[in-house]
């Protein structure tokens, strides 16, 4: 009997969560539950290289290095360079707490973009979110430095129930020269969910749609926010095999998809990016949120913190 394997899903955007370690804990916010005691996982540099090569073969155009804090991984620079040498665009999502000279060299290369999250224009408010005194001063200084160096920079500002605070942060960032600022709600995932079980209602509806994320242990999930929907491991099988398997099909089918002319098309951030960053002006809401709902909206995070 001939066994016919389904062709793997086409891939355009792949996030590589190369570590769970972070200098910050963001106890009320972090979608991944990262922190100083988390590990870099079980993926070796060679495993990441191989995954990047497989992503290219599947049609990927861009990879995003995330964590945790990706610059804490000892293989950060080689992994980023391998992706660039493979012809991919590279985005680095960093907390910008501490950027070394080697990191700046990576970030200044053509084809590399940088993203971060800014919680408030008030230092004490920002530091309360990160649970690390001095984090606002460090992140703000590195935002200024990234602008000075001419690095393509996107900054996410989260509205956790205080729109005026978010707008003040946006205004400050724009005054610093940041041209790409996104304001979004906090989604009820990770630390922001508390004891609640993860729900597909918090997803924007584009997870698994020509995008995926590889977690530090090699597990492949539909997206960073939908990390509870895994479909296999690149350490057990190749990326193409995971994306052509029944578990991937089942995980993707479980996600509510946007419908109608106002759906986020073609991406979560319409026509601007392949990631689920908050939209510049009209972010792709969680599928469980509707403007007509009463009470406060579901908490939402950008794809990466």
- Per the structure, the complete domain to which residue 151 belongs is given by 13-253
Q: Is a pLDDT exceeding 50 seen at residue 215?
A: yes
Residue 167 lies in a domain: yes
Q: Residue 216 in contact with residue 20, Cβ under 8 Å?
A: yes
Q: What percent of the chain has pLDDT over 90?
A: 65
Residue 294 lies in a domain: no
Residue bearing the bigger pLDDT, 260 or 89: 89
Residues making up the chain, counted from first to last:
305
Residue 125 lies in a domain: yes
As a whole number of angstroms, the distance between CA 197 and CA 190 comes to 9
Residue 98 lies in a domain: yes
Average pLDDT over residues 136-159: 96
Residue 178 lies in a domain: yes
Residue 34 lies in a domain: yes
Average pLDDT over residues 80-106: 98
Pinpoint the alpha helices (H) of the chain. Answer: 45-57, 76-85, 101-107, 123-130, 135-148, 163-175, 239-243, 246-253
Strands (E), the chain: 13-17, 62-66, 89-93, 112-117, 153-159, 180-185, 211-214, 219-221, 230-233
Sign (positive or negative) of CA dihedral 235, 47, 272, 92: positive
Nearest to 234 by CA among 83, 17, 43, 32: 43
Nearest to 79 by CA among 32, 17, 20: 17
Q: Is a pLDDT exceeding 70 seen at residue 74?
A: yes
Confidence of residue 206 (pLDDT cuts 50, 70, 90): confident
Q: Say whether pTM exceeds 0.95.
A: no
Average pLDDT over residues 57-66: 97
Residue 72 lies in a domain: yes
Q: State the pLDDT at residue 299.
A: 31
Angle 40-220-83 from CA coordinates, rounded to 5°: 65
Per-residue burial over 168-192, b if 16 or more Cβ lie within 10 Å, else e, is bbbebbeebebebbbbbbbbbbbbb
CATH number for the domain that contains residue 168: 3.20.20.70
> Cis bond leading into 68, ω under 30°?
yes
Residue 179 lies in a domain: yes
**Burial class (CB within 10 angstroms; exposed 0-12, middle 13-18, buried 19+) of 152:** middle
Residue bearing the bigger pLDDT, 191 or 259: 191
> Cis bond leading into 266, ω under 30°?
yes
Total tally of structural domains belonging to the chain: 1
Mapping DSSP to helix (H, G, I), strand (E, B) and coil, where does residue 74 land? coil
Residue indicated by tokens 């509707």:
290
The model's pLDDT over 254-274, given as tens digits with 9 standing for 90+, comes to 888 776 544 443 334 333 344
Q: State the pLDDT at residue 6.
A: 60
Sign (positive or negative) of CA dihedral 294, 299, 302, 303: negative
Q: Is a pLDDT exceeding 60 seen at residue 77?
A: yes
Consecutive H or E run containing 35:
none
Token pair of 6, please?
């389904």
């Amino acid at each position: 009997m001939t066994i016919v394997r389904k062709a793997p899903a086409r891939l355009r955007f792949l996030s590589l969560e190369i570590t769970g370690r972070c200098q910050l804990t963001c106890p009320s916010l972090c979608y991944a539950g990262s922190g100083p005691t988390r590990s870099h996982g079980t993926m070796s540099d060679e495993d990441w290289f191989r995954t990047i090569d497989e992503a290219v073969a599947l049609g990927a155009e861009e990879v995003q290095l995330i964590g945790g804090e990706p610059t804490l991984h000892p293989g950060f620079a080689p992994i980023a360079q391998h992706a660039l040498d493979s012809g991919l665009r590279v985005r680095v999502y960093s907390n910008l707490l501490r950027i070394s000279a080697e990191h700046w060299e990576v970030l200044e290369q053509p084809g590399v973009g940088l993203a971060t999250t800014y919680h408030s224009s008030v230092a004490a408010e920002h530091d309360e979110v990160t649970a690390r005194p001095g984090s606002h001063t460090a992140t703000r200084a590195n935002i200024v430095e990234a602008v000075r160096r001419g690095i393509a920079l996107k900054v996410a500002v989260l509205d956790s129930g205080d729109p005026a605070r978010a707008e003040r942060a946006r205004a400050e960032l724009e005054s610093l020269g940041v041209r790409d600022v996104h304001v979004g709600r906090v989604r009820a995932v990770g630390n922001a969910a508390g004891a609640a079980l993860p729900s597909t209602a918090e997803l924007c509806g584009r997870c698994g749609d020509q995008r995926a994320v590889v977690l530090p242990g090699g597990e492949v999930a539909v997206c960073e926010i939908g990390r509870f929907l895994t479909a296999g491991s690149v350490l057990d099988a190749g990326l193409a095999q995971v994306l052509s398997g029944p578990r991937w099909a089942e995980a993707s089918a479980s996600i509510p998809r946007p419908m109608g002319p106002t759906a986020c098309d073609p991406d979560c951030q319409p026509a601007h990016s392949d990631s689920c960053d908050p939209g510049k002006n009209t972010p792709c809401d969680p599928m469980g949120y509707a403007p007509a709902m009463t009470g406060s909206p579901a908490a939402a995070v950008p794809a990466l913190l």
